[in-house]
Chain A
């Protein structure tokens, strides 16, 4: 496997050449600093560009063209990545050997037609396509509360720090959707293709020079490259007494989400110690939380902790009966305190390190996981897989105890399930 980063004027091209896979995958990322209003625009744009284009008027036309290209898998999304908003387009296609014909140029020219030749007339997006996407987004807003897990997580983010970009909803906002028109969306589109930071990642059995030549031919981008700022969200203060917010719902199960702020972590702690800490606390069915809250006290089916590097946040989640709220929080807090007291052993650390090493090796089996590591390296300065494997084994018990002191229980959110279970 060989990696090359090529400066192609307005964007960076990252080519990972490997014969391990029968497919080629491409990811085109547009990113800019996150603002609350932009989220809805970017979401709209990511959808409308795959709904209709000048050459492919309807989503059906696009879907048929994808199937003709040996079932090209095409998708778009927007994600909130700390202080940034990333709009990305991903494609996966059979490589030329298995398709039996040269695919690279066909696929790249097709994607380019969708992104750079949108269905626009008189500086306005096509109204039919616009209305389809608008309705989809309105339905998404309407059904926002239908997913209790996702809703509870975002409510916890909101309560944690109302001023932080972390509190923004990934879907966007109804009031922002209401002011989007076919014209102002096109204006926004123009600002994206001229001023967003663009990175293109491609992995598979490809030739560097050929890919570069094809991209230069089809991707008409005129952005000006600027230095980026940090994705990481830093917390400066935390609540001495954690804040508890409860909401009622008609679900039968209650969702418990706890936000734990990480303050003043060193890069080593953030990249490595936190991963080991979280694995021991609630990262697997062998974890402290799983064994105590689930197995010993039968309070839940799932309970887990996850450290979010970009957000400097440890999130603990569980699904419980609302009557057990106090007991569950008490048990979780006890395990959390036990980490600070060093009540875990060397075997726990060893198991967490072995699992981490194992997942590093598994990354190399999946094109999308490999691309993720290069994206993280580009945006977050993450280490290479080799460095990760060398560094993780350096984490020791003292590191974990020291880190535990930097974690602060901040916000507890409970979506109470008041619904009655009927079989």
Chain B
């Protein structure tokens, strides 16, 4: 099916394969490159579930989705997927988030071979005791690398402290201890449950013919057999509105303290609006409040509280949205207080709102020049909303100042969690 991205000179083609796999293609003949991603709707969050064909819930070690991502590069014939892509001059990689695991390649030539190979290696699990053991040293180094990054630690700790039970709180890669207990049986269990084609999707952006992409995937999948029935039961957590821990201080190898603060927002009350619009309005609100154009940043600089900008990040956790702020500051307590006061006074001006709308529209146009951004946009839409909105341009254009005020008025911004990283040698 073809859908045009209105005003953006691009179209999205969607196809469904017999085994349930979805294929999304955005062709762009102006570029040379092609970017293909193959994802499963399975990330670090889904750690308690009923395995395919079983009846009882099981829990698996933390970090297993990410471990599985590493191990799918192991093939029974000993061939290294990276070598194959390298022979074709293509870049290949994979990544895991709380919500999905994605395998990808980009390259100008050998598209058919590359796409077939991407599907084949991901759909050929090969785990042995030895190759699982070997991976533990590598992942231990990966965990330690991120552990040394203050910004990464800060975000991870704030998310952990915001949630009581939702496994979104668990670090994506797990911990050095949790990965030690992972076995090949655990990996097969997760693979057989979450890597069913009906739980997976392909997104291709760039210089391709959409029907050809569909044919390649269709023919490839026709050669493989999967259980025609697919049902997935993942444990639901009745997450509380409050945060699990409001304040924490950790010490790290920094000279200037860093602050991370998250606002846990309950959006269930706003049934009049769809999730996408709520999230867009929230983004606009927080952007107006904390970007370089805000009076907050200007005054924090004048008062020597920050010298640079405030970084922001949004986490979409089903019933809750977490809006996260981060800054380096020598006055952490004052920063937190001023930021909270600014958010709690929900005032925004119509002038700011209209200007930010213009910015959002412009960003959509610029994104369409970039096949990597468009691919991510499709993937994130599928994971967050289950579909891709091709009318996004008109949709944002229709947003009104009154609606923004209504959304903001109906959300409570009281539930916050803050983490401060202090230098190791400080007395605080």
- Measuring CB to CB, which residues of chain A are less than 8 angstroms from any residue of chain B? 20-23, 58-60, 63-64, 67-68, 70-71, 92, 94, 98-99, 128, 132, 135-136, 139, 142-143, 145-146, 148, 249-253, 284-286, 290-291, 294-295, 298-302, 319-321, 347, 350-351, 354-359, 361-362, 364-366, 417, 419, 421, 423
Are A285 and B145 CB-contacts (below 8 A) given A143-B255, A351-B86, A362-B108?
A: no
Identify A143's interface contact among B90, B291, B328, CB under 8 A: B328
Identify B371's interface contact among A143, A350, A365, CB under 8 A: A365
Identify B138's interface contact among A139, A146, A294, A358, CB under 8 A: A294
Complex CA–CA separation, A286 to B83 (angstroms) = 5
**Are B82 and A284 interface neighbours, CB within 8 A?**
yes
Are A139 and B328 CB-contacts (below 8 A) given A60-B295, A364-B32, A419-B253?
A: yes
Asked whether any CB of chain A lies closer than 8 Å to the CB of B424, the reply is yes
**Are A142 and B108 interface neighbours, CB within 8 A?**
no
* Cβ-Cβ contact count across A and B, 8 Å cutoff: 172
Q: With a CB–CB cut-off of 8 A, which chain A residues contact B365?
A: 22, 94, 98
Task: Digitize B244-261: 1 where CB-to-A-CB distance is under 8 Å, 0 elsewhere.
Answer: 000000001111100000
Complex CA–CA separation, A249 to B253 (angstroms) = 8
Complex CA–CA separation, A408 to B171 (angstroms) = 42
Q: With a CB–CB cut-off of 8 A, which chain A residues contact B319?
A: none
Complex CA–CA separation, A60 to B296 (angstroms) = 10
Q: With a CB–CB cut-off of 8 A, which chain B residues contact A359?
A: 89
In the complex formed, the residue of B with least CB distance to A298 is B137
**Are B32 and A361 interface neighbours, CB within 8 A?**
yes
15 contacts between A and B (CB under 8 A): A70-B358, A94-B366, A99-B362, A128-B302, A135-B307, A146-B253, A252-B144, A253-B145, A286-B82, A286-B83, A299-B141, A321-B141, A350-B87, A421-B143, A423-B171
**Are B86 and A68 interface neighbours, CB within 8 A?**
no
What is the distance, in angstroms, from A174's C-beta to the closest C-beta of chain B?
Answer: 13
Q: With a CB–CB cut-off of 8 A, which chain B residues contact A284?
A: 82, 86
What is the distance, in angstroms, from B298's C-beta to the closest C-beta of chain A?
Answer: 4
**Are B33 and A421 interface neighbours, CB within 8 A?**
no
Q: With a CB–CB cut-off of 8 A, which chain A residues contact B252?
A: 250
**Are A132 and B137 interface neighbours, CB within 8 A?**
no
Q: With a CB–CB cut-off of 8 A, which chain A residues contact B359?
A: 67, 70-71
Complex CA–CA separation, A251 to B150 (angstroms) = 11
In the complex formed, the residue of B with least CB distance to A20 is B30
- Report which residue of A135, A136, A294, A354 has the largest number of chain B beta carbons within 10 angstroms of its beta carbon: A354
What is the distance, in angstroms, from B47's C-beta to the closest C-beta of chain A?
Answer: 16
**Are B90 and A145 interface neighbours, CB within 8 A?**
no
Asked whether any CB of chain A lies closer than 8 Å to the CB of B147, the reply is yes
Q: With a CB–CB cut-off of 8 A, which chain A residues contact B358?
A: 67-68, 70-71
Q: With a CB–CB cut-off of 8 A, which chain A residues contact B294?
A: 60
**Are A361 and B108 interface neighbours, CB within 8 A?**
yes
Task: Digitize B291-317: 1 where CB-to-A-CB distance is under 8 Å, 0 elsewhere.
Answer: 111110110011010011000000000
Complex CA–CA separation, A199 to B357 (angstroms) = 35
